[in-house]
Amino acid sequence: MIKYDLEERTLRFALNVRQFVAKVPRTIASIEDCKQLVRSSGSVAANYIEANESLSPRDFLLRIKICKKEAKESILWLRLLAENLSASFVPKANELIKEATELMYILATIIQKQKAKEIRL
């Protein structure tokens, strides 16, 4: 059985975004979009670490919700960049969008399970 480490996966996502951004041609729009993308992708990883160190179940849930929100925001910035970049950048942008989407689904499942757990308590 494969063990998935979500802390490592969110870190990898942020690192892959940074590698992608480093290759993006600089325009006024791409610079601003890249700044936002770097922030949101890093926030997914940072808030997941914070969730793992949460002080309460409520704090955990809040951090996971922020992770999900930031993953969704990362998708927006990636889509904006993909629309304005040459075709050679689109496959990598789509790969990152796919990863952000998968992270969103995983985080949504965690949120649902945490809420169900709270209801039982």
pLDDT in tens, the chain (121 residues): 455 699 999 999 999 999 999 999 999 999 999 999 999 999 999 999 999 999 999 999 999 999 999 999 999 999 999 999 999 999 999 999 999 999 999 999 999 999 888 776 5
pLDDT of residue 4: 60
For 62, the 3-state DSSP assignment is helix
Structure tokens at 22: 């480093």
For residue 30, the one-letter residue type is S
What SS3 class is residue 75? helix
Q: How many domains does the chain have?
A: 1
Task: Tell whether 95 is covered by a domain.
Answer: yes
Domain assignment present for 41: yes
| 106 sits in which H/E element | helix 90-120
Q: How high is the pLDDT of residue 1? A: 45
Cβ–Cβ contacts within 10 Å for residue 8, how many?
11
72: domain range?
6-120
